[in-house]
Structure 1
Amino acid sequence: MSSSLPFTSSRAFLKTQYKHRDSLEIPQHILPSKVHSFTGDVSTPEVLLSRDNDHEPKLSCTLRQAIGQAEVSSIILDFGFAVAGIPVIRVATIQHTSLPVRLDITYSEGFPGIERHGGDGPFPFSAGADTQRRNRFRIRGPGFYEAKHVQGSQRWMRITLVSREPCSISLSLAAFKPTTENTPLDQLPGYFACSDTQLTDLWGYGARTLQLNCIPARTVPSPWQVSEDMGILVDSQRCNAYGWGGEWTDYEVEFEGMVIDGGLCWGVRMRPTGGLLFVLNVDPGGSSTTLELWFGLYNKPQKTLIPLLLESKDLTNLGIVSGKWYKFKCICIGIEEYKVFVDAQLAGTFKRTNSDASEPTSASEAPAGFPAIPQGSVGFGAGEDQICRFRNLTVKSVNPSKILYTSGLNNTSVLGDFGVNFNQLPYIFDGAKRDRYAWTADIITGGPSLYYSTAGLKYIRGNIEASMMRSTLKNGESGLLPGGMPPGREFERNPKDTMFKVLSANYSMYLILAVFDFWLYTGDDILILTYWEQIKGCLRYIEEMVNDAGLIAAKGMTAMDYDYYNGAQSGVATKRNVLYIAALRKCATMAQSAAIDDQEAAQLYLSQASRTANSINKTLFNSETGHYMITTDRPNGFQQETHAWLLTTGIAPEPIQASLLQKLNDLCTGTHNNSPTQFSAETPDVPTTISPITSTFHILACLQAGDVASAEHILRTVWTPMCDTSSPHFTGTTWEFMNPDGTPFEDQFCSYAQLFSVGPTSIMSRFVLGVEPITPGYKTFLVAPRFQMDGVRWAEGRVPTPTGEPIVVRWEMFDEGWRLWCRTPGGLKGVVKVPTEVWGRKKSVMVNGVVMDDGSGEIRIGGGEGEEMDIEIFY
């Protein structure tokens, strides 16, 4: 019997080659799509848009700087959307009276950043990212030139000729060597499209964001280059410290340093948050030399990491010049002055006062007389536009004299010592531009979206394995789990380092939730079996943090969360306790599985979860305001994320759920398009921001309550600015956070390709298309379209499964009825649940062309070798 409800969309999406997508990735440079503009004397810039086919230089683009020319010669190239890779140029010819010719290449995700000298950087927080967003190329002749490190996300590139006139340089290539997958979105394992093209595009923007953040193993090069006879070469990079020196106190540091261009930098008494940096600045020819003492990670500011200049000394009399080795010695003893020697000559002393001052949370908050840093490690770096070498390092303690560390700095093992090696595992980063760090928190929303789109399971597993392998919990020990992983950390080294570990209660629980989600979507019993003891040890430790009222209390680093800009959630935080309940419940489910089969542990976790849930409602709910406090230390105000978690977990009692949902939806006022803010207007000491991750949780709370209209409003308003292709901020990816006017929060510091902002990708596959696992590995699954958005008449897509074949669904609404077609892989069993509003209008039902006389709106599918089902509902 032929259907009277023919699908509008084509069947092209069924013909994917996603199984062979790796073979589709032909190695080739990523070229710009358009020349945006140029200044000065530039000819034929459009040739940079085409590819060399014969491996020979084609026509070239020439930048010239003539005598008396007022404007600097510069080109801005547009790649159309955010891309990642190692910058590469091909020089056809150069003309200059002296070499090298200096060429700056600058990068930015949003257009506003490309108009700045340093692009949208620098970003000194993580060694996993190039500190600079501007590379200086020193050109000595024709040929290929590559940057030393990856630029993780940028739509815009600016090329500027900075050498003095007269000079010219001709380029036949300006591009990126890709370091991430660039599979076309319609060829990914997962796929989604619907009749609303903006929603289809938004799904893809999340998938593209995931591609940029998924980092294959051994693709993040070290920021240092090692030579057997010349030590380490460092070019404009933050100071990176020896990983096991964080508890060193009084010591002497001796090393040899060579300035190649601009100067050099070393650090003492360094901790993960920064330390004391000595920055030597050498003008060309040695005409002026200064030695500066800074507190921070770098001598140029990141938006949230503002360094503090403490003191500066004029060392011009020492005659330091480029290209020559000098012996440096730095003495750090108690609260005495720092002493610096160059070739055994005292170069300067740096005073230490106010010895009782505590370390500031940021350099800009440093008290007068700071620093009073009693301990920390030793590191090396290079300031902005500096390139230098170091070798023959020795660190000796004082009283008694003992060698703490020594290295010629001329063997690649030194990269592991300082945590700056290549990435041993594949990772999924929090942000493609910054932090480029394998955090666990971002997987909470990023993980499900990955499972529905790119299916890059190895990247999620890499983050999980990295944190678990770095855990020191063995043989029944208790403790928190590492919250993240710097990509250059080596696993063969002692896990008890002092520089690379972040221990936070929330991040530990995020990791546990990420493990559960991985297991749910993949059915990977081996993963939970491997790390079950660490998970139990973490839960034991967190249980020890529970007070007499049955609630977790935390302070300091233990109380930190990913929304650092809102401050620590010290005291008894509602969200932290809700996370604990969620983790306990998920662990109870894993304990009850055939893989773990620990019924005693399951009952214990459920009992603890019930106790803490009761305590939350008894202690943290304010009956006068009608909502829950943020923390006992911050009792005033209303937080979006906390209440979304309370609703999705069902902890909030049913009688108050409707009023809490209304309070959540009341946050949708006061912004440019009524997007929800993270906090109510009366909440003190927090910036007014729009957060995609907390809005994702808000959407889930609405959908769970059946408030589809509010869920649609939030999804459309929060992500609409990211979908505006005419915006100077458009990158085809999803942003970290926004101001009330819809622009990126914290200006160009904002990550425009942020993992935790990809929530719509999973939401649309799970709720609009309607597919989700019920038991691990999709052994049983549900097909239930239940997020009917205004104007969406049809949807179609693929959902990857562990079988290697996807679940494929397409549905469409007609004036005469509703139709759904589904194909399932062999061995999986599912239930198709017809939307309630459709089933309520039915007059007749056909399944695979056969009239179904009765039913409940739930139709079973699968269980054999694979099955196709065609359901038609006639009104």
Structure 2
Amino acid sequence: MNSGEKYILTPAAKRLFGAAIHSISGGVENAEHLLKSDGQTAKLDYSDGGAKPSVLIDLGPSAPGGYPIFRVASQTGRPTLRIAYSDWYEWIVDPVHGANGDFSRGSCTYLGVELPVPPANPYRYELYTIEADGVYIAPMIQGQQRWVRIELDTPGSVELDYFAFENVADMSPYKGSFLSSDDSLNRLWYASTYTAQTASFPHSDAWTIVDGWLLPRKLARSNEVGLSVDGAAWQDYRFSFQFIIRRNPGPVSAIGWIVRAPDENNGYVGQIDLDGRFHLFKRVDGVYVRLKPSVQLAETIVDGRVYRLKVRLNGSLIETLLDGALIDATIDETFREGKVGFCQPLDKWALVRDVRVENANGTLLFVDDFQGDLSHWSFARTAPYIADGAKRDRLPWLGDLDWAGRNLYYAFDNYTYMKETIRMFAFHQTPEGYIWAACYPENQVKPATGEYGYYQSDEFSAWFAPVLADYVLFTGDLAFAREMYPTVVKGFEYLWNYVEGDGLFFQRYETSKGIWGHILERTGKGTYVNLLLYDAFKEGAFLAGKLGFEADAAEFEEKAEIIRQGIQSHLWDEEQRYFVELKGSREFNFYANALALAIGFPDDEQAAAVSAKLKETDMGKYQSLAIRGKFRYGRDEDAIGTLRNPGGGVDWLGALTDWRGPHATWECMTYPPIALPAGKNWGDSSHPDTAVAHLLSGYVLGVQPTEPGFRTFEAIPHPCDLQWAEGTVPTPYGEIRVKWETIEDRFRMSLEAPVGTIASVGIPKTQDQSYAIRLNGDLVFHSDSATMSPARSPLIDEDRLYVYIRGLGPGRCDIERLPL
């Protein structure tokens, strides 16, 4: 096998540096030293009356995200350093808004929740007061970006050793591969799988550690308090720690702590703001009650400066000291014992280190230098999950998982992200069976009846069964399927309530978002959602059958057939030869017809008519459905042509050669991206739901599972106009390796199947000459006489496009089609 390593975009290390200095302006020296940590420095100098010094760093085509981190070697004065981020070049150099990054806080509102969600930074720029050397860390994540703009806002100078990111996305090693004679397709495969990695997060915990500093934050749907695991019986003690307050460009930032906390909703809460005020509350059942008016501190509080805070608890006396000086003494009897922790409301950003708890006699009760893990603390944690993009949304979306999974399964054997995301959606099922379209990973409150979530969509709810079925098919995880099966059944009960006598699902107003319509409006009997329900019940039958629930499988098949007849009777326009948008309409709908092909719904004559009408769309994920369907129905030339040049503004290959932005294959593509007004460019190039890897590995290479976990699978190449292709596909049994090539009139293919699997191989026919097929040197098929070698051949059959060799066991086999 040839190596695909040169195409891999996944960072090799968790600490990510820039790839190049694109440009500088003003007083900048040795900017290239920002690109690595080697003790050599870049200098930015801003003199009164001079131009602002600015450096534009190109992070390279992988456009990574994470926690910004840089080291200051020296400075003069107390300058403000500004760092801004953008995924596309034009937006970071915009003369009006470029210094604030590509979008402003609150500019993306269609979902009804603030994006990006914590722990991502809602701003695309940061401000740092530089008054000392050392490492500076942002406590919030900046998502996907290719460009970083560093400049001084106020006079002074600063020498920087480096600028980097602490990566937060998946870095799993590749277990699958794809290569072919078309270099652009090779790059496309690796870009699509890497895009899925950028949106796969090991967690989005409220707390994390970077370089020995604790970053305590509040998540959108979590408590703002985190506590020590131990300490429930601590009474009189000394709680101390070092802290840095990091500036928030909007509201005043702060550090908050809690002592004598019996639980996360009760205890004494102290807070020091960046504007120099001290606050003291008692938190009772989650409600803050002031113990006294706020106090203006004598000491100026500066962002980035390291302070030490100590709280002394003696009976009812609470004493607070800042850098050894007493700033408050308060008496209160409410809480006499309890744990310690930190309290960070949503816009209060701080860093903490060197936590110590001692009793009144000076005996050490607890210490944490944050050089290890956070097992001694209790705070909001999330499972691994796949988000709908790294830059903006950072939320899992149920309907998008089908596409995202088809990128992940072919490249990686780490199935945790998909599994845990599916489990999140099962948790977000209402008592009547509706499943939320999008959810916060940290949420621990189950929805109630009639709570349809942030995106009210029956369409998304219906995706649960197909997504789970795909997961089971690729991973073989039947134990998880059994765990999730009650969710499938309840979901079907809910959806079937709205299937009427004509066999069609009626979309109510209350849950009518979908098909790229972000408002409640799409009521009626739509073709797309009915096709989706048909597929959902078919996939439910698959799951039920594999789990041994035969009666359920038969019921789901029966219901799928009812919907199939309804679609064919009421949604197929025989005169115009396509599926209409909804019952009573004669309008063509790209999304519905593409889905019909992708799931194999139409007969061959219908498929031929529909394929001819699927020209272009402005949504890459739906163009991906169309391509899948074209391959499925043997329209290979059309399929590969559409993949290379989808039209409608979709151009995955174009993005992979553009130095201005990420080399990614995003769902919402138009390429080049449509520029919104300055400061509003929240479009996301990191959405993983394209399924491009499935199109290439599953069809061009030809490997697809037919039984859970690839226990049985097919290797049926679609050579198109390629001379060769090869690749590996990870499975629970081991790697499947396939290589095929066309040399003039010959077709050669080798297959290596792992132990425990059985393969079916398809050999493309030639239509204009006679040929023979040999398996490991033995004649097994002759196109003229259809004779086979009776002693050695497995089961052979054929259709108009392929000759199939079935029942191939593990090990290597070599197959050749020879002209006669």
Q: TM-score range by the shorter chain?
A: 0.7 to 0.9
Equivalent residue for 1:657, pick from 598, 607, 617: 607
Equivalent residue for 1:732, pick from 657, 660, 663: 663
Aligned to 1:708: 636
State the Cα deviation string for residues 211-256 of structure 1 (Å, max 9, x = none).
Answer: 1111113567589xxx99xxx988xx9987989xxxxxxxxxxxxx
CA contact (8 A) 2:573 2:580 kept: yes
Q: Please tell me whether residue 558 in structure 1 is matched to residue 511 in structure 2.
A: yes
Letter in 2 for 1:208: Y
Change (3 A) 1:63 1:785: same
Rounded to whole Å, the distance in 2 between the matches of 1:40 and 1:528 is: 60
Q: Please tell me whether residue 836 in structure 1 is matched to residue 793 in structure 2.
A: no
Rounded to whole Å, the distance in 2 between the matches of 1:445 and 1:44 is: 44
What CA RMSD, in Å, does the superposition of the two structures yield over aligned residues? 4.0
Rounded to whole Å, the distance in 2 between the matches of 1:424 and 1:731 is: 27
Rounded to whole Å, the distance in 2 between the matches of 1:870 and 1:241 is: 57
Deviation for aligned residue 1:37:
0.3
CA contact (8 A) 2:17 2:59 kept: yes
Aligned to 2:180: 194
Equivalent residue for 1:754, pick from 687, 706, 714: 687
Change (3 A) 1:725 1:463: closer
CA contact (8 A) 1:570 1:631 kept: no
CA contact (8 A) 1:770 1:785 kept: yes
CA contact (8 A) 1:112 1:728 kept: no
Rounded to whole Å, the distance in 2 between the matches of 1:179 and 1:205 is: 18
Change (3 A) 1:654 1:25: closer
Change (3 A) 1:61 1:25: closer
Deviation for aligned residue 1:262:
8.6
State the Cα deviation string for residues 648-686 of structure 1 (Å, max 9, x = none).
Answer: 445446554332222223xxxxxxxxxx12xxxxxxxxx
Deviation for aligned residue 1:458:
0.5
Aligned to 1:211: 197
Change (3 A) 1:870 1:264: closer
Aligned to 2:99: 117
Letter in 2 for 1:78: D
CA contact (8 A) 2:184 2:653 kept: no
Change (3 A) 1:744 1:202: farther
Letter in 2 for 1:783: A
Rounded to whole Å, the distance in 2 between the matches of 1:762 and 1:220 is: 34
544-553 or 35-44: bigger deviation: 544-553
Q: Please tell me whether residue 605 in structure 1 is matched to residue 587 in structure 2.
A: no
Rounded to whole Å, the distance in 2 between the matches of 1:485 and 1:828 is: 37
CA contact (8 A) 2:452 2:511 kept: no
Deviation for aligned residue 1:344:
9.7
Letter in 2 for 1:795: A
Aligned to 1:468: 426
Q: Please tell me whether residue 486 in structure 1 is matched to residue 440 in structure 2.
A: yes
More helix by share: 1
Change (3 A) 1:568 1:809: farther
Deviation for aligned residue 1:717:
1.0
654-663 or 426-435: bigger deviation: 654-663
Equivalent residue for 1:579, pick from 515, 528, 532: 532
CA contact (8 A) 1:87 1:147 kept: yes
Deviation for aligned residue 1:325:
4.7
Rounded to whole Å, the distance in 2 between the matches of 1:200 and 1:574 is: 35
Rounded to whole Å, the distance in 2 between the matches of 1:113 and 1:220 is: 30
Rounded to whole Å, the distance in 2 between the matches of 1:432 and 1:544 is: 36
CA contact (8 A) 1:506 1:576 kept: yes
CA contact (8 A) 2:187 2:656 kept: no
Deviation for aligned residue 1:140:
2.8
Aligned to 1:45: 31
Change (3 A) 1:206 1:867: same
CA contact (8 A) 1:721 1:742 kept: no
State the Cα deviation string for residues 563-610 of structure 1 (Å, max 9, x = none).
Answer: 2458742222211111111101111122122x2x22222222222222
Change (3 A) 1:33 1:576: same
Change (3 A) 1:771 1:171: same
State the Cα deviation string for residues 150-176 of structure 1 (Å, max 9, x = none).
Answer: 2221111111111x22x0011011011
Pairing of 1:457-856 with structure 2 (within 5 A)? 457-473=415-431, 478-489=432-443, 491=444, 493=445, 496=448, 502-556=455-509, 558-561=511-514, 563-564=516-517, 568-593=521-546, 595=547, 597-622=548-573, 625-631=576-582, 635=585, 637-652=587-602, 655-665=605-615, 676-677=616-617, 690-718=618-646, 720-739=651-670, 742-744=672-674, 748-757=681-690, 759-786=691-718, 788-790=719-721, 792-803=722-733, 805-837=734-766, 841=769, 843-852=771-780, 854-855=787-788, 856=797
Change (3 A) 1:173 1:180: same
CA contact (8 A) 2:509 2:523 kept: yes
Letter in 1 for 2:175: P
Letter in 2 for 1:481: I
State the Cα deviation string for residues 771-814 of structure 1 (Å, max 9, x = none).
Answer: 1111111111111102x333x101010001112x2000111110
CA contact (8 A) 2:252 2:275 kept: no
Rounded to whole Å, the distance in 1 between the matches of 2:220 and 2:65 is: 24
Rounded to whole Å, the distance in 2 between the matches of 1:264 and 1:114 is: 18
Aligned to 2:45: 64
Q: Please tell me whether residue 859 in structure 1 is matched to residue 817 in structure 2.
A: no
Q: Please tell me whether residue 453 in structure 1 is matched to residue 411 in structure 2.
A: yes
State the Cα deviation string for residues 296-339 of structure 1 (Å, max 9, x = none).
Answer: xxxxxxxxxxxxxxxxxxxxxxxx992225799xxxxxxxxxxx
Deviation for aligned residue 1:523:
1.2
State the Cα deviation string for residues 359-412 of structure 1 (Å, max 9, x = none).
Answer: xxxxxxxxxxxxxxxxxxxxxxxxxx9xxxxxxxxxxxxxxxxxxxxxx99856
Letter in 2 for 1:831: S
Pairing of 1:308-327 with structure 2 (within 5 A)? 322-325=275-278
Deviation for aligned residue 1:182:
3.9
Aligned to 1:389: none
Change (3 A) 1:238 1:63: farther
Rounded to whole Å, the distance in 1 between the matches of 2:146 and 2:804 is: 47
Change (3 A) 1:799 1:534: same
CA contact (8 A) 1:737 1:745 kept: no
Deviation for aligned residue 1:137:
2.2
Change (3 A) 1:216 1:193: same
Deviation for aligned residue 1:720:
3.9
Q: Please tell me whether residue 140 in structure 1 is matched to residue 126 in structure 2.
A: no
Pairing of 1:285-296 with structure 2 (within 5 A)? none
Letter in 2 for 1:90: R
CA contact (8 A) 2:472 2:481 kept: yes
Aligned to 1:671: none
Q: Report sequence identity in percent.
A: 24
Change (3 A) 1:505 1:724: closer
Secondary structure, aligned partner of 1:68: coil
Aligned to 1:313: none
Change (3 A) 1:843 1:178: same
Change (3 A) 1:121 1:421: farther
State the Cα deviation string for residues 817-861 of structure 1 (Å, max 9, x = none).
Answer: 1211111100101011111238x7454433324444644533346
Letter in 2 for 1:762: H
CA contact (8 A) 1:13 1:797 kept: no
Aligned to 2:363: none
Gaps of 5+ in 2: 106-113, 225-244, 255-272, 282-289, 295-303, 305-337, 349-377, 782-786, 789-796, 798-802
Rounded to whole Å, the distance in 2 between the matches of 1:239 and 1:832 is: 50
State the Cα deviation string for residues 532-572 of structure 1 (Å, max 9, x = none).
Answer: 11211110011112234332222345111262458742222
Rounded to whole Å, the distance in 2 between the matches of 1:772 and 1:48 is: 46
CA contact (8 A) 2:208 2:216 kept: no
Equivalent residue for 1:86, pick from 59, 67, 80: 67
